[in-house]
């Protein structure tokens, strides 16, 4: 059923987002400003980027925008947002190709966005912690396989749902943008390669022109920082 309750919202000003001045991922596009850049590119919305050092992120000027002193933030006129999910949702509400006008399709796209952030990403973040922050702990070799298997269990389920479909629910939506972004965080671990269906899904997402523009923009920041 199509909803005619409200006209589609528009951007009231050119947004400004924040990103790492020098991303620790060395331009792999794993930091969360990438999700916001990608959504803005899908929406065809130009944007500005303010780059921040780790020190600046904890200073009052940035803490006034983000209570936890992180990136990304989003400013659009007098509106300031933090939390990637909220920012991407705000952008998606302004672009029908990210959030369908049909009420039910829209609700399902939002469901997939939450599933990406609340159900699929937590075990992946646990794995990132286990592989990087805990790797020197004496118990790391015992814990890591448990965490890896928790990720595999979740990917088994997601893969079974996706099957041979191109996207999670019909046409590409913000649910796919968030899910593919979350899965990309797995790439350095090699686990994504164990799931050919999900690997192809992520590859399709990465092949989208909007993704490529967003990726190139964040890579250019890293390249400039590392050559200066």
**Nearest distance from C-beta of residue 29 to ligand GTB, angstroms:** 9
Strand order in the sheet with 79-82: 48-52, 16-20, 73-76, 79-82
**Nearest distance from C-beta of residue 25 to ligand GTB, angstroms:** 3
Residue 110 region, left (φ>0) first, then alpha (ψ -120 to 50), else beta? Answer: alpha
- The 8-class DSSP code of residue 8 comes to P
Q: Which residues pair with 73 in a beta bridge?
A: 82
Q: Which CB, 30 or 179, lies closer to ligand GTB?
A: 30
User: Among 84, 91, 46, 89, which Cα is nearest to 68's?
Assistant: 84
d(CA 219, CA 15): 20
Q: Which CB, 73 or 148, lies closer to ligand GTB?
A: 73
Q: Which CB, 31 or 120, lies closer to ligand GTB?
A: 31
Q: Which CB, 67 or 138, lies closer to ligand GTB?
A: 67
CA-to-CA separations, 51 to 29, 70, 115, 134, 149, in angstroms, rounded = 15, 12, 30, 29, 37
**Nearest distance from C-beta of residue 66 to ligand GTB, angstroms:** 8
**Nearest distance from C-beta of residue 81 to ligand GTB, angstroms:** 10
∠ CA 87-88-90 to the nearest 5 degrees? Answer: 65
∠ CA 191-157-179 to the nearest 5 degrees? Answer: 70
**Nearest distance from C-beta of residue 34 to ligand GTB, angstroms:** 9
Residue 197: count of CB within 10 angstroms of its CB:
16
**Nearest distance from C-beta of residue 160 to ligand GTB, angstroms:** 27
Q: Which CB, 24 or 46, lies closer to ligand GTB?
A: 24
Q: Which CB, 39 or 71, lies closer to ligand GTB?
A: 71
Residues within the interface to ligand GTB (CB under 6 A): 24-25, 30-32, 57, 69-71, 83-84
């Amino acid at each position: 059923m199509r909803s005619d309750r409200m006209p589609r919202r528009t951007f009231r000003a050119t947004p400004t987002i924040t990103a790492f001045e020098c991303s620790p991922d060395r331009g792999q596009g794993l930091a969360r400003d990438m999700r916001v850049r990608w959504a803005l590119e899908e929406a065809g919305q130009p944007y500005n980027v303010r780059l921040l050092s780790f020190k600046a992120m904890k200073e009052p000027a940035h803490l006034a925008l983000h209570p936890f002193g992180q990136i990304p933030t989003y400013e659009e006129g007098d509106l300031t947002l933090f939390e990637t999910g909220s920012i991407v949702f705000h952008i998606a509400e302004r672009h029908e190709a990210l959030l369908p006008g049909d009420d039910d399709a829209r609700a399902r796209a939002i469901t997939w966005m939450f599933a990406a952030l609340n159900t699929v990403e937590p075990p992946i973040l646990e794995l990132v912690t286990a592989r990087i922050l805990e790797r020197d702990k004496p118990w790391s070799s015992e814990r890591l396989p448990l965490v890896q298997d928790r990720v595999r269990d979740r990917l088994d389920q997601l893969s079974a749902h996706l099957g041979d479909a191109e996207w999670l629910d019909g046409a590409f939506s913000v649910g796919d943008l968030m899910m593919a972004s979350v899965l990309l965080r797995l790439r350095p671990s090699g686990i994504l390669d164990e799931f050919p269906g999900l690997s192809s899904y992520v590859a399709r997402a990465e092949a989208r022109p909007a993704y490529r523009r967003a990726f190139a923009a964040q890579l250019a920041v890293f390249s400039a920082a590392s050559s200066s």
